[in-house]
Amino acid sequence: MAKGKLTPVMQQHAAAKQAYPDAVLFFRLGDFYEMFGDDAVLCARVLDLTLTSRNKDNPDESPMAGVPHHAAHAYIGRLLHAGYQVAICEQMADPKLVKGIVPREVVRVVTPGLVTADEHLKARENNWLAGVDISGDARQVAIALLDISTAELRVAAVIDVAALLVTLAQAAPREVLLGSEDPALYQAALESVVRKTVLREDPALLVEDEALALRGLENDAKLLSAAERRAACRVLRFARACNPREELPVRAIGRFEPSATLVIDPSAQRHLELVESNSGDRKATLLSVIDETLTPAGARLLRSRLLAPLTDVPSIRRRQDGVELFRVHAGVREQLRSALRGVNDMERVVSRVLLREASPKDLAALRDSLQASAQAVRLLSSLDDPAVEESLALSPDEDIVQDVEAELAAALVERPPALAKEGAIFQDSYDPQLSEYETTRKNGAELVVALETRLKDKTGISTLKVRYTRVFGWYLEVTKSALKKVPKDWRRKQTIANGERYTLDELDELAEKISLAEDLYRSRELELLRTLNETVRGAAQRVRALTAKVAAWDVAAALAAVAHRFDYARPEVHDGTALRIRDGRHPVVERLAAAGRFVPNDVSIDSETERMWIITGPNMAGKSTFLRQVALITILAQMGSFVPASSASIGVVDRVLSRVGASDDLARGESTFMVEMRETAQILRYATARSLVILDEIGRGTSTFDGLAIAWAVAEHLDTALRSRALFATHYHELTQMAAESEHVRNMSVSAKERDGEIAFLHRLIDGAASRSYGVAVAKLAGLPESVLARAAALLLAFEEQPTGGETVRVPLKPRKNLNQLDLFAAPSVPESRDQEVLATLRAVNVERLAPLDALQLMAQLKKRLS
Ligand code: ADP
């Protein structure tokens, strides 16, 4: 078909495509969604569909691909996963009832950040669409987060782009809308913190846009700054454009204060493996070891609390009180938890109800959830503890939305279908009219059976069958051999291979009656369903309020269960400057890697006095584990949880910052160093006297002087200028000299026992710097040949005897230079030429890129060459 002469249907398609040029258009044609042109090519590639064309004789015609409508969900899911948006264009009337062309309309655009269907969502995580607003000079930065599936909208102003990145890393949105005025600069930075996120450029906002986007939320919007309002408008405008036919379920704008939370830098969030582990093992995260929540909303709440703990002492204590309550009343806790197992995702069901997407199954899930929630409320009300009202926010006349629950319970069958058109939604006794239609329908069916028997008797056609198909309706089927017995008044409808199909007046009348009853039944069912949905819509806010409370109880009870089972203690959180933990444990390592044999350790640092610990010890001794456990315990404490320790006293921390030396990323070479330096810069820029800094230099043994120099300068700056509480695990032994120079610095080491060159790790932290000589023992443990070990031990001695006295150590670059000048292989018996050869090899070696074991191996080779 030539361009410009589109059929009416293709004109509809062109109009829809023009309205939603950025989306893949799913265009409904009968039982299929069809994609045309570029969309078809894209779908063929992403979804493995076969390309066809509407008119096979015309190769110029635009390509086409299609999916059956009932399977569309899965295909849409795959497109979303790949980051595309999908516009769904539906037939707006029953083709059977329309003369001419069926009207079609885009009813919804689904994008990765605007998903509402459970099958495309993670139950235990929010699905955020973020909107960012950065005014020209970056002095005003704001972010809005919208989760349309739970109808939450939160807005915050942040101080700068770096703070924005922190907030984004915490929320891990699926999709971010960036103002087109935002420089590409931010885009690169964003890409580094939010992986797996779709970044979308969003056109500039006009004043009219704002008014339109914020409608219904004007009162809340009044409280926002200009930048916050623009960020909110950005997500709202986008969400409204994608849901052109429905009001958004959002009823309120919540503000959040990034400054009132413990900031966990994106790098710290990664290093500490809070919600994602570096190994990819889902179990090896802090979240997974404390997440014993039983409801989806509870799981989401726990996760967001973990990523944004509090800094306000009274609020932290209130959360702790809730946990305490459930630890004391263990019986009620377990009863509550068994009730909570019946609570489904009410939050998301309500949002779908508001978007008119809820299924009968959703309503049944809401019914069950309300019943279980009511049971939870009854349980907690029975608790005889004065703390209940305050710490669980349970009011004496808690609204359990009984009216809605009763209505749903009276109406729905136990397990209604996922699709309304499947019918069988309501209980028999629910609606007299529905019952009447049902009776008529049933009677009709019985009358058909009776008619069949009667006709068989009358005609003597024993094989006679009354049948029904959707296309032909009701008919009588007679096989060839019996055709002569067919009475004159039967009218022939259709000839088939082995017989004929007939009808007669009586059957037509009956069919008419049945079909009428069926139609009436169907429309009555849909009408009742609409009313039921309206009932829920009217109570949406009440259901949400209840859901929020149930989620908080779920979290408190889950944390209490963890505290009980794994022996966590309630930490004392205060506004002081000290951080003291007795018998602290790493919550993940104690459960997985070192289950049953974890060695607890204490920590005691104070920004006013002894604020930095420099921790040395052999590899594998447990330095990293110790550092991380202190940070994790602090995070747990400030999110309101109990902690794995026998006691803890935590002066509130404003920020956890970390830098972890690259351990094995040799391939990335320089960029690894860049990453480390960027993290260091970040630390020095943002750490305060309230911060907790974790520096973990995993020894790669490359002993770059830069590394040592930088580490030293950073530690000094942290101590003297920033005064942060800091734990510094290092393989630069020279750093232990700092303790002699600053009263705020203390040397600690992780002990190992060495006997006859054998090493055993005790994982216990002790006073003072570690002895240097463990390295060789560890090498032995790793199975290095004896000769190499012997030579290494001798070399070590030689190094230590070098003049590295007080003065040179204090300027840490010097002693290493001396070492370099050592003529390591100048044994007199070696002939000149071999000597030269070895020296040449040595010169060629890139020490910066040599791992410790490789170095030892090399040494062995060289030695062999010399002997
Ligand atoms: P380092 O940082 O000193 O090289 P790690 O902290 O990585 O050492 O610890 C090495 C391993 O030792 C860990 O994987 C863990 O299994 C075990 N470990 C560490 N600390 C302890 C401890 N306190 N108790 C028991 N095992 C521990």
Instruction: Using the atom order of ligand 1, give the atom closest to the CA of residue 627.
Output: 6
Six token digits for residue 82: 């790949």
Instruction: Using the atom order of ligand 1, give the atom closest to the CA of residue 699.
Output: 4
**Alpha carbon nearest to ligand 1 atom 9, residue:** 622
E strand spans, 22-180: 24-29, 32-36, 52-53, 63-68, 86-91, 104-110, 129-134, 141-147, 152-158, 175-179
Q: What is the pLDDT of residue 825?
A: 33
d(CA 573, ligand 1 centre) in Å? 27
d(CA 718, ligand 1 centre) in Å? 26
**Alpha carbon nearest to ligand 1 atom 20, residue:** 622
Six token digits for residue 599: 């060695």
Across the strands, what pairs with 202?
179
Which residue has 């009408």 as its token pair? 527
pLDDT at 176 over 60: yes
CA dihedral 265, 267, 270, 274 (to 10 degrees): -20
pLDDT at 2 over 70: no
Tell me which of 590, 616, 620 to substitute to probe ligand 1's pocket, judged by most ligand atoms within 8 Å of the beta carbon.
620
Q: Are 605 and 577 in contact (CB under 8 A)?
A: no
d(CA 593, ligand 1 centre) in Å? 9
Instruction: Using the atom order of ligand 1, give the atom closest to the CA of residue 696.
Output: 2
Instruction: Using the atom order of ligand 1, give the atom closest to the CA of residue 618.
Output: 3
Residues 631 and 691: their CA atoms lie apart, in Å, by: 11
d(CA 750, ligand 1 centre) in Å? 10
Q: Are 693 and 729 in contact (CB under 8 A)?
A: no
Q: What is the mean pLDDT of residues 756-773?
A: 79
d(CA 695, ligand 1 centre) in Å? 16
Instruction: Using the atom order of ligand 1, give the atom closest to the CA of residue 597.
Output: 25
d(CA 586, ligand 1 centre) in Å? 10
d(CA 599, ligand 1 centre) in Å? 9
Which residue has 């999709």 as its token pair? 175
E strand spans, 622-716: 647-651, 655-660, 692-696
Q: Are 605 and 579 in contact (CB under 8 A)?
A: yes
Q: What is the mean pLDDT of residues 707-732?
A: 88
Instruction: Using the atom order of ligand 1, give the atom closest to the CA of residue 764.
Output: 23
Six token digits for residue 745: 């610095």
- How sure is the predictor about 566, in pLDDT bands with cuts at 50, 70 and 90? very high
- How sure is the predictor about 59, in pLDDT bands with cuts at 50, 70 and 90? low
Residues 767 and 145: their CA atoms lie apart, in Å, by: 47
Alpha-carbon Rg for the chain, nearest whole angstrom, is 36
Tell me: the pLDDT tens digits for 348-384?
A: 999 999 999 999 999 999 999 999 999 999 999 998 8
β-strand pairing of 725-729 with 692-696: parallel
**Alpha carbon nearest to ligand 1 atom 13, residue:** 622
- How sure is the predictor about 862, in pLDDT bands with cuts at 50, 70 and 90? confident
**Alpha carbon nearest to ligand 1 atom 19, residue:** 622
Q: What is the mean pLDDT of residues 447-466?
A: 90
Instruction: Using the atom order of ligand 1, give the atom closest to the CA of residue 761.
Output: 12
d(CA 671, ligand 1 centre) in Å? 28
**Alpha carbon nearest to ligand 1 atom 23, residue:** 599
**Alpha carbon nearest to ligand 1 atom 25, residue:** 598
Instruction: Using the atom order of ligand 1, give the atom closest to the CA of residue 729.
Output: 2
Tell me which of 625, 663, 730 to substitute to probe ligand 1's pocket, judged by most ligand atoms within 8 Å of the beta carbon.
625
**Alpha carbon nearest to ligand 1 atom 6, residue:** 622
Tell me: the pLDDT tens digits for 20-35?
A: 999 999 999 999 999 9
pLDDT at 675 over 80: no
Tell me the pLDDT of the chain averaged across its residues. 86
Which residue has 């990293």 as its token pair? 624
pLDDT at 812 over 90: no
d(CA 761, ligand 1 centre) in Å? 9
d(CA 274, ligand 1 centre) in Å? 18
**Alpha carbon nearest to ligand 1 atom 10, residue:** 620
Q: What is the mean pLDDT of residues 472-479?
A: 88
Burial class, 413, CB count within 10 angstroms (exposed 0-12 / middle 13-18 / buried 19+): middle
What's 782's DSSP letter?
T
Helices (H), 123-225: 161-171, 184-193, 207-213, 218-222
Residues 377 and 396: their CA atoms lie apart, in Å, by: 10
Residues 151 and 346: their CA atoms lie apart, in Å, by: 12
d(CA 619, ligand 1 centre) in Å? 9
Residues 112 and 198: their CA atoms lie apart, in Å, by: 8
d(CA 598, ligand 1 centre) in Å? 9
Instruction: Using the atom order of ligand 1, give the atom closest to the CA of residue 619.
Output: 4
**Alpha carbon nearest to ligand 1 atom 17, residue:** 622
Instruction: Using the atom order of ligand 1, give the atom closest to the CA of residue 617.
Output: 3
CA dihedral 532, 537, 542, 544 (to 10 degrees): 110
Q: Would you tell me how many other CB atoms lie within 10 Å of the CB of residue 196?
A: 10
Pocket-forming residues, ligand 1, beta carbon under 6 Å: 589, 593-594, 597-599, 617, 619-625, 750, 763
CA dihedral 299, 300, 305, 307 (to 10 degrees): 110
Tell me: the pLDDT tens digits for 148-173?
A: 999 999 999 988 888 888 888 888 89
Residues 157 and 384: their CA atoms lie apart, in Å, by: 42
d(CA 624, ligand 1 centre) in Å? 7
**Alpha carbon nearest to ligand 1 atom 14, residue:** 593
d(CA 742, ligand 1 centre) in Å? 28
- How sure is the predictor about 817, in pLDDT bands with cuts at 50, 70 and 90? very low
d(CA 590, ligand 1 centre) in Å? 10
Tell me which of 589, 630, 633 to substitute to probe ligand 1's pocket, judged by most ligand atoms within 8 Å of the beta carbon.
589
d(CA 621, ligand 1 centre) in Å? 5
Tell me: the pLDDT tens digits for 501-553?
A: 999 998 898 888 888 888 899 999 999 999 999 999 999 999 999 999 999 99
% of the chain exceeding 90 in pLDDT:
52
**3-class DSSP string for 529-562:** HHHHHHHHHHCHHHHHHHHHHHHHHHHHHHHHHH
Tell me: the pLDDT tens digits for 684-697?
A: 888 999 999 999 87
Instruction: Using the atom order of ligand 1, give the atom closest to the CA of residue 601.
Output: 23
d(CA 627, ligand 1 centre) in Å? 10
Q: What is the pLDDT of residue 43?
A: 94
What's 784's DSSP letter?
-
E strand spans, 559-706: 572-574, 578-584, 601-606, 612-616, 647-651, 655-660, 692-696
Instruction: Using the atom order of ligand 1, give the atom closest to the CA of residue 593.
Output: 16
Q: What is the mean pLDDT of residues 213-225?
A: 90
Mean pLDDT is lowest, of 428-437, 663-672, 687-696, 786-795, for 663-672
d(CA 620, ligand 1 centre) in Å? 6
